[in-house]
Amino acid sequence: MISISDFSSKECDRIFELASEYKQNGAENECSGKILGSAFFEPSTRTMLSFHSAMQRLGGNVLGFSDTSTTSVKKGECLADTMRTLAAYCDLMVIRHPNEGSAKLSSEFASVPVINAGDGGREHPTQTLLDLFTIKENKDSVKGLNVVLCGDLKYGRTVHSLAMALAGMGADITCVSPPELKMPESVTTCLERKHKVSVVEENELSSAVKDADVLYMTRIQKERFGSPEEYAKVKDCYVVNKEIMSKANENMLLMHPLPRVNEISLDVDSDKRAIFFEQALNGVFVRMALISLILGVRD
């Protein structure tokens, strides 16, 4: 499971159905005796713990590493060897790696299925799945929804695949970002050509939010900027606070992949439209569904 495009919409629906079942009824020890190999070549505590929780809730075990300084990677072992070796110890692997294409490379060398938990700036398909699940859970249909994507739309890894997936399901996309962090043209033209979806660009969040069904905020990352001054210029340009929320309609969903910094102020957490913690929780159920489908304990 390397890319979100590996799934047909039917397969996505099956994942969501099962995730929903796990959310309501919990799980039996369906994966007891199975081992998830967890290879985190760069820190991502949240994603890692979500995968570990998912496997343990299914009754399975987890082994792996989250710090390459204690592994043979530090001794210069190549990625293919590391993954081939780890594959021998487990039934399924999850990999997070800073280089684009690393998950695909791993799947070529490993003897067990590989789940991509983020490869460089490219994809993070389980994040996309849990975002879609959260929207579907709260809205009757994705078709015709106006989804406002706001923040770093240039480097935000999850936001490109989310936009593609949403457009594929018939949602309209509105992009709100500072000029230096605009959605790349390659993505917007693809959305318009392939999915016949119109992408509207807005500068003002306060006006874009008025007819939004979903507001998806992303974090503007410091690492993306050459100088602290450049970062300072844009870092707080979009902040969702009570005032912004008062302009939004009462059924709008406020989402965020977390961790947030300043882009959503703490005073909106109690707003019932702020569902980003629920969204993070859904990550566990979606990953449980994915694991049990890949391991074949469910079909």
Partner 1 sequence: MSLKVDVIGNGTVIDHIPGGRGLLCLKVLGIESIDSPVILLSNVSSNNKGGKKDLIKIEDRFLTPKEHNKLAIIAPGATVNIINDTHVTDKRLISVPEKFVDVICCTNPNCVSNTESYISSSFAVERKEPLEVRCSYCDRVVGAKQLLRQVIG
- Which residues are the active-site residues? 46-47, 75, 96, 124
**80 sits near partner 1 (criterion: CB under 8 A):** yes
Strand, coil or helix: 289: helix
Closest CB to partner 1 among residues 33, 226? 226
Q: How far is the CB of 161 from partner 1 (least distance, A)?
A: 11
- Quick one: which of 131, 119, 155, 165 has its CA closest to 1? 119
Residues 239-298 close enough to bind partner 1 by CB under 8 A:
none
The answer to whether the beta carbons of residues 274 and 268 sit under 8 Å apart is: yes
Closest CB to partner 1 among residues 97, 298? 97
Quote the CA–CA distance of 174 and 164 in Å, as a whole number: 13
Residue from 49, 63, 78, 88 binding partner 1 (CB under 8 A): 78
Closest CB to partner 1 among residues 73, 281? 73
Number of residues located near partner 1, criterion CB under 8 A: 16
Quote the CA–CA distance of 65 and 54 in Å, as a whole number: 17
Binding segment (CB under 8 A) for partner 1, from list 62-70, 78-86, 143-151, 266-274: 78-86
The answer to whether the beta carbons of residues 80 and 105 sit under 8 Å apart is: yes
Neighbours of 252 (CB within 10 A): 21
Binding segment (CB under 8 A) for partner 1, from list 33-41, 93-101, 150-158, 234-242: 93-101
**102 sits near partner 1 (criterion: CB under 8 A):** yes
Closest CB to partner 1 among residues 81, 180? 81
What's the Cα-to-Cα distance from 240 to each of 119, 199, 209, 255, rounded to whole Å? 29, 22, 10, 11
The answer to whether the beta carbons of residues 276 and 260 sit under 8 Å apart is: yes
Burial code (b: 16+ CB inside 10 Å, e: under 16) for 203-242 equals eebeebbeebbbbbbbbbeeebbeeeeeeeebbebbbbee
Residue from 6, 17, 67, 100 binding partner 1 (CB under 8 A): 100
- Sign of the torsion formed by the C-alpha atoms of 209, 276, 154 and 263: positive
Q: How far is the CB of 65 from partner 1 (least distance, A)?
A: 18
| R_g (Cα) of the chain, nearest Å | 19
**DSSP 8-state secondary structure symbol assigned to residue 123:** B
Residue from 104, 136, 182, 247 binding partner 1 (CB under 8 A): 104
How many whole angstroms from its chain centre is CA 40? 16
Binding segment (CB under 8 A) for partner 1, from list 25-33, 113-121, 206-214, 256-264: 113-121
Residue from 16, 64, 118, 119 binding partner 1 (CB under 8 A): 119
Extract the tokens encoding 240. Answer: 């969702």
Residue from 20, 56, 61, 99 binding partner 1 (CB under 8 A): 99
Closest CB to partner 1 among residues 100, 243? 100
**184 sits near partner 1 (criterion: CB under 8 A):** no
**105 sits near partner 1 (criterion: CB under 8 A):** yes
Residues 6 or more apart whose CB falls under 8 angstroms from that of 49 comprise none
Residue numbers of the site for partner 1 (CB under 8 A)?
Answer: 78-80, 97-102, 104-105, 119-122, 186
